[in-house]
């Protein structure tokens, strides 16, 4: 089978740079914001943080491993179904359910990833879509087990009984630690191999790296972190529905990464923040809110193909040069 | 002595002034409190799958709100309804409900199209112990399985509808039945209730085939041919939207309606959308057909709705939207506040004069004994679309589960 070359990458994007001081300040400001802002903002921030993790997990696959996933909502949704099913159907304690979400997503990532890496590029992408359809079908139609369309409700006290601020802080900690782990993975020897495979699978293969194995590892890791995000989301709302494993969540994730800017570690962060804020704010004032999101996405892709991350990087570079000049 | 007298006089005068000021201030505060609006949040699919169904409900709710406010509001408080779009997505519904409660400080929430949105909104209202009045979704689960005193239902739910279809089957004497239901919560539960109830009231009737087209299925030919192969006495169809439209269009081509009896979910919106495509003589079941409400209040509502909205006829969702606003008004007025427990007791304390007739609630599950309607389609010169004629309204009081049944289902759900 002929290996398909990944799409060309913008040269002006530093795909790994992280400003640690700025990151620390942002995390601290977020923590403070959770305790000083009104409840509406606290809920919005919490939701944004969960999607930051989901989009960043998806970004690992899209930006670094050279794969396309049209079904990543599955791993997010299985994170939520993991806790819901184990607690509601098998009477597991909550703490075990919290572990079960990411584990279920990881197992699904491993199985579906194994199938998907047998093919490359768009064909692999279509296989991820098929896997997603299978999962959605099970969630939607296995009425007696998954609750079908009505999902599973009331399996856990919403936010585990924590106040909105404390739950927000918990999410902030989990998401920050998860992002640090993702960053560490990207910068580890394994991460370098994943990037090598993503950039040029044939050359990486010639160097002795098995493309299928490396991509499967990346896909499974991404599934795990998507599952963590999904578990948080399931606890946040206290319910789970087939929509969570459906195409809309996958599409939202893809849009977030594209908005944020492919080939940048920050893509998921920028994309999720912009997308969810637009979703939360614009839809309150404008009935055709999806149109607004579409226009924003089109504008970003046309004006800055490297997304918001690319724009921010160029801006920072410009400022740096002016400072040194 | 003079000095003491003078001081006493001044003290007395000052007391009078303070008392007068307090009175004026107190009255002002009372008036201010009385004028504080009673905020009601609406969560429903204004866009998405429910987008075509909810606009008439919102129109009717706006009409009811204006009428209530013109008549002095609820306990002297003007009613303000804040409309939020769930986008027919469960997580969005939950998010909007929470936002309405914590940010807009609504005291009551209503809506909610569809069943899955109801299932996602009710844990939020339960968490904050805010009353939730479901007017537009079919599932009975929040009221039967996961009940809390603040959750109310004003539309016929899946148990009422499933049993109504079974009663109608028995009445017609059909013995060989094919069921055709969309494969999701509403379809599954309605058929489950239908089968159980039919087995009890007419053991000689047999379900010869169960068909489950997927949610939103538009190609019904395989289901139609599978149905005809069994030559049933009747087909009980629990489908909606595009699936019902396809069943009718494609069913005509295969002679389905000539070769067997079909009982389909034919709400006014579907009859309006399908128009002359709907053949005469199909049995249709419905939630509140405007032309067959059979009450003076209903006729008056239809007349005023049409006058206000350029001759438009109210759909079933419109009737239900109008009813829920007046039910809320009555319940809050009788409870004297918006606390869930007080409203539950108040709801069961009176007979609600709805546009669908005299209805009663009960503290067991806060469910109105809403009727379910079954009629026959017919094109008449009076209306620009087919209507249901010879409509039978099966009273909800005959169809609601008994206390023992409710407690059994609740215990099983909470096991």
A238-279, pLDDT tens digit by residue? 889 898 999 989 999 999 999 998 888 889 999 999 898 888
**Closest approach of chain B CAs to the CA of A148, in angstroms?**
6
Most confident of A173-187, A262-276, B173-187: A173-187
Whether A23 has a pLDDT exceeding 60, the answer reads: yes
Whether B11 has a pLDDT exceeding 60, the answer reads: no
Considering CB atoms only, which of A38, A150, A154 is closest to B115?
A: A150
Q: In this structure, is residue B378 part of a structural domain? A: no
Residue A268, token pair as written in the block: 């998921």
Residue A17, token pair as written in the block: 């740079």
- Any idea what the Cα angle at residue A130 is, between residues A124 and A134, rounded to 5°? 145
Per the model's pLDDT, the better-predicted residue between B185 and A165 turns out to be: A165
Residues B282 and B168 in one domain: yes
Q: In this structure, is residue B235 part of a structural domain? A: yes
Residues B26 and B46 in one domain: no
Whether A7 has a pLDDT exceeding 60, the answer reads: no
Whether A4 has a pLDDT exceeding 50, the answer reads: no
Considering CB atoms only, which of B47, B87, B146 is closest to A153?
A: B146
Per the model's pLDDT, the better-predicted residue between A303 and B401 turns out to be: B401
Whether A32 has a pLDDT exceeding 90, the answer reads: yes
Q: In this structure, is residue B321 part of a structural domain? A: yes
Which pLDDT value is given to residue B19? 55
Residues B343 and B365 in one domain: yes
Which pLDDT value is given to residue B15? 55
Which pLDDT value is given to residue A154? 78
Please say whether the beta carbons of B398 and B167 come within 8 A: yes
Residues from A contacting B (CB-CB < 8 Å) are 38-40, 43, 47, 140-141, 143, 147-151, 153-154, 158, 164, 233, 237-239, 241, 243-244, 248, 283, 287
Q: In this structure, is residue B387 part of a structural domain? A: no
Whether B65 has a pLDDT exceeding 90, the answer reads: yes
User: What residues of chain A lie within 8 A of the CB of B139, using their CB?
Assistant: 150
Residues B274 and B297 in one domain: no
Q: Cα-flanking dihedrals φ and ψ of residue A89, to 5°?
A: -100, -30
Considering CB atoms only, which of B91, B102, B184 is closest to A237?
A: B91
ipTM score for this prediction: 0.72
- Give one DSSP letter per residue of B45-110, joined into a string: -SSSGGGGTHHHHHHHHHHHHHHHHHTT-BTTBPEEEEEEE-TT-HHHHHHHHHHHHHTS--SEEE
Q: What confidence category does residue A12 fall into, taking pLDDT thresholds of 50, 70 and 90?
A: very low
Which pLDDT value is given to residue A2? 39
**Closest approach of chain A CAs to the CA of B104, in angstroms?**
9
Q: What confidence category does residue B16 fall into, taking pLDDT thresholds of 50, 70 and 90?
A: low
Which pLDDT value is given to residue B399? 94
Q: In this structure, is residue B342 part of a structural domain? A: yes
Is B185 within 8 Å of A149 when comparing Cβ atoms?
Answer: yes
Whether A6 has a pLDDT exceeding 90, the answer reads: no
Those residues whose C-beta lies under 8 Å from the C-beta of residue B97, and which sit 6 or more positions away, are B41, B43, B84, B109, B121, B124, B125
Closest CA to A253 of A53, A30, A45: A53
Burial (0-12, 13-18, 19+ Cβ within 10 Å), B209: middle
Mean of the pLDDT values across residues B95-103? Answer: 90
Q: What confidence category does residue B7 fall into, taking pLDDT thresholds of 50, 70 and 90?
A: low
Whether B407 has a pLDDT exceeding 60, the answer reads: yes
Burial (0-12, 13-18, 19+ Cβ within 10 Å), B319: buried
Considering CB atoms only, which of A47, A140, A238 is closest to B184?
A: A140
Rounded to the nearest integer, the mean pLDDT of chain B is: 90
Ranges of each domain in chain A? 20-324
Whether B243 has a pLDDT exceeding 50, the answer reads: yes
Chain A residue with minimum CA distance to B89: A243
**Closest approach of chain A CAs to the CA of B161, in angstroms?**
18
- Whole-number Å distance between alpha carbons of A318 and A316: 5
Is A158 within 8 Å of B102 when comparing Cβ atoms?
Answer: no
Which pLDDT value is given to residue B22? 53
Chain B residue with minimum CA distance to A276: B92
CB contact burial B66-76 (16+ within 10 A = b; e otherwise): eebbeeebbee
Is A153 within 8 Å of B122 when comparing Cβ atoms?
Answer: yes
Q: What confidence category does residue A5 fall into, taking pLDDT thresholds of 50, 70 and 90?
A: very low
Residues B125 and B22 in one domain: no
Chain A residue with minimum CA distance to B93: A237
Convert the pLDDT of each residue in B339-383 to its tens digit: 999 999 999 999 999 999 999 999 999 999 999 999 999 999 999
Residues B207 and B352 in one domain: no
For residue A255, the 8-state DSSP code is H
Which pLDDT value is given to residue B154? 96
User: What residues of chain A lie within 8 A of the CB of B102, using their CB?
Assistant: 39-40, 43, 164
User: What residues of chain A lie within 8 A of the CB of B214, using their CB?
Assistant: 141
Mean of the pLDDT values across residues B384-406? Answer: 95
Q: Which domain holds residue B20?
A: 1-35
Which pLDDT value is given to residue A143? 82
Chain A residue with minimum CA distance to B98: A40
Rounded to the nearest integer, the mean pLDDT of chain A is: 88
Q: In 3-state terms, what secondary structure has residue B155?
A: coil
Q: In this structure, is residue B413 part of a structural domain? A: no
User: Which range is least confidently modeled, B27-41, B134-148, B207-221?
Assistant: B27-41
User: What residues of chain B lie within 8 A of the CB of A233, using their CB?
Assistant: 91
- Whole-number Å distance between alpha carbons of A33 and A39: 11
User: Which range is least confidently modeled, A8-17, B1-10, B50-59, B366-375?
Assistant: A8-17
Which pLDDT value is given to residue A92? 94
Mean of the pLDDT values across residues B223-249? Answer: 93
Mean of the pLDDT values across residues B206-235? Answer: 93
Q: In 3-state terms, what secondary structure has residue A148?
A: helix
CATH number reported for the structural domain that contains residue B241 in this entry = 3.40.50.2300
Please say whether the beta carbons of B253 and B315 come within 8 A: no
> Given B265, B286, B307, which residue is the final one in a domain?
B286
Which pLDDT value is given to residue A18? 66
Residues B151 and B56 in one domain: yes
- Whole-number Å distance between alpha carbons of B247 and B256: 9
Name the one residue in this structure whose structure tokens are 């919560």.
B185
- Any idea what the Cα angle at residue A154 is, between residues B412 and B239, rounded to 5°? 75
Which pLDDT value is given to residue A22? 83
Residues B309 and B356 in one domain: yes
Residues B213 and B111 in one domain: no
- Whole-number Å distance between alpha carbons of B240 and B115: 13
Q: Cα-flanking dihedrals φ and ψ of residue B153, to 5°?
A: -130, 130
Which pLDDT value is given to residue B80? 97
Residues B139 and B163 in one domain: no
Q: In this structure, is residue B407 part of a structural domain? A: no
Which pLDDT value is given to residue B274? 92
Considering CB atoms only, which of B119, B127, B188 is closest to A158?
A: B127
Closest CA to A124 of A179, A62, A77: A62
Architecture per CATH, A20-324: Orthogonal Bundle (1.10)
Q: In 3-state terms, what secondary structure has residue B387?
A: strand
Most confident of B16-20, B106-110, B182-186: B106-110
Residues B90 and B127 in one domain: yes
- Whole-number Å distance between alpha carbons of A144 and B230: 28
How many CB atoms are located within 10 Å of the residue A298 CB? 10
Is B120 within 8 Å of A141 when comparing Cβ atoms?
Answer: no
Which pLDDT value is given to residue A307? 86
Convert the pLDDT of each residue in A117-138 to its tens digit: 999 878 999 999 999 999 999 9
Q: In this structure, is residue B52 part of a structural domain? A: yes
- What DSSP element (H or E) covers A33? helix A20-36
How many CB atoms are located within 10 Å of the residue B415 CB? 6
Residue B408, token pair as written in the block: 């059994």
Residues B309 and B357 in one domain: yes
- What DSSP element (H or E) covers B208? strand B206-211
Read off the pTM: 0.80
Which pLDDT value is given to residue B87? 83
């Amino acid at each position: 089978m002929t290996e398909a070359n990944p799409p060309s990458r913008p040269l002006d994007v530093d795909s790994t740079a992280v400003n640690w001081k700025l990151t620390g300040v942002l995390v601290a400001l977020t923590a403070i914001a959770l305790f000083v802002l009104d409840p509406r903002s606290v809920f919005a921030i919490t939701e944004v943080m969960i999607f930051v993790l989901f989009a960043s997990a998806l970004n690992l696959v899209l930006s670094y491993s050279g794969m396309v996933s049209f079904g990543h909502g599955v791993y997010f949704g299985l994170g939520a179904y993991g806790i819901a099913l184990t607690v509601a159907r098998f009477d597991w304690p909550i703490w075990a359910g919290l572990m079960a979400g990411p584990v279920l997503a990881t197992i699904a990532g491993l199985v579906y990833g194994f199938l998907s890496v047998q093919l490359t590029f768009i064909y692999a992408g279509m296989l991820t879509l098929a896997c997603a359809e299978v999962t959605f079908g099970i969630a939607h139609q296995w009425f007696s087990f998954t609750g079908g369309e009505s999902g599973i409700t009331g399996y856990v006290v919403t936010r585990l009984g924590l106040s909105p601020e404390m739950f927000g802080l918990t999410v902030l900690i989990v998401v920050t630690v998860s992002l640090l782990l993702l960053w560490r993975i990207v910068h580890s020897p394994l991460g370098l191999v994943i990037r090598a495979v993503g950039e040029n699978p044939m050359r990486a293969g010639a160097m002795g790296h098995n493309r299928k194995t490396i991509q499967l590892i990346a896909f499974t890791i991404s599934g795990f972190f998507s599952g963590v995000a999904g578990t948080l989301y399931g606890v946040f709302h206290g319910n789970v529905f087939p929509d969570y494993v459906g195409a809309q969540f996958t599409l939202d994730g893809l849009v977030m990464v594209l908005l944020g800017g492919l080939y940048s570690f920050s893509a998921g962060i920028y994309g999720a923040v912009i997308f969810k804020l637009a979703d939360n704010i614009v839809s309150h004032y404008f009935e055709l809110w999806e149109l607004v999101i579409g226009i924003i996405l089109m504008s970003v892709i046309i004006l800055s193909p490297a997304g918001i991350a690319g724009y921010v990087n160029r801006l920072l570079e410009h400022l740096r040069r002016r400072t040194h000049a | 002595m003079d000095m003491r007298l003078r001081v006493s006089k001044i003290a007395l005068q000052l007391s009078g002034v303070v008392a007068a000021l307090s009175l004026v201030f107190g009255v002002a505060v009372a008036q201010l409190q009385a004028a504080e609006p009673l905020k009601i949040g609406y969560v429903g699919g204004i866009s998405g799958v429910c987008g075509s169904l909810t606009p008439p409900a919102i129109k009717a709710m706006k009409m009811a709100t204006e009428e209530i406010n013109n008549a002095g509001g609820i306990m002297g408080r003007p009613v303000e309804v804040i409309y939020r779009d769930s986008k027919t997505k469960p997580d969005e519904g939950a998010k909007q409900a929470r936002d309405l409660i914590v940010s807009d400080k609504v005291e009551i929430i209503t809506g909610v199209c569809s069943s899955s949105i109801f299932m996602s909104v009710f844990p939020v209202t339960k968490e904050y112990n805010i009353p939730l009045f479901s007017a537009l979704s079919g599932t009975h689960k929040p009221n039967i399985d996961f009940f809390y005193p603040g959750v109310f239902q004003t539309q016929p739910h899946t148990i009422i509808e499933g049993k109504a279809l079974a009663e109608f089957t028995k009445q017609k004497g059909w013995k060989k039945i094919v069921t055709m239901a969309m494969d999701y919560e509403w379809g599954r539960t309605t058929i489950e209730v239908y089968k159980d109830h039919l087995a009890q009231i007419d053991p000689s009737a047999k379900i010869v085939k169960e068909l489950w087209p997927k949610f939103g299925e538009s190609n019904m030919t395989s289901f139609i041919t599978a149905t005809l192969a069994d030559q049933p006495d009747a087909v009980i169809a629990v489908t909606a939207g595009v699936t019902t439209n396809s069943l009718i269009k494609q069913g005509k081509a295969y002679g389905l309606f000539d070769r067997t009896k079909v009982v389909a979910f034919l709400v006014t919106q579907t009859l309006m959308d399908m128009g002359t495509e709907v053949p005469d003589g199909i049995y249709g079941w419905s939630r509140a057909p405007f032309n067959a409400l059979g009450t003076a209040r209903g006729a008056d509502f239809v007349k005023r709705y049409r006058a206000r909205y350029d001759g438009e006829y109210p759909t079933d969702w419109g009737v239900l939207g109008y009813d829920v606003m007046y039910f809320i008004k009555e319940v809050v007025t009788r409870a004297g506040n918006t606390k869930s427990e007080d409203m539950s007791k108040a709801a069961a304390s009176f007979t609600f004069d709805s546009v669908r007739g005299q209805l009663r609630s009960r503290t067991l599950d806060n469910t109105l004994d809403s009727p379910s309607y079954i009629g026959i389609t017919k094109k008449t010169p009076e209306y620009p679309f087919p209507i249901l004629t010879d409509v039978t309204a099966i009273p909800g009081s005959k169809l609601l589960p008994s206390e023992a049944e409710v407690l059994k289902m609740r215990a099983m759900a909470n096991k």
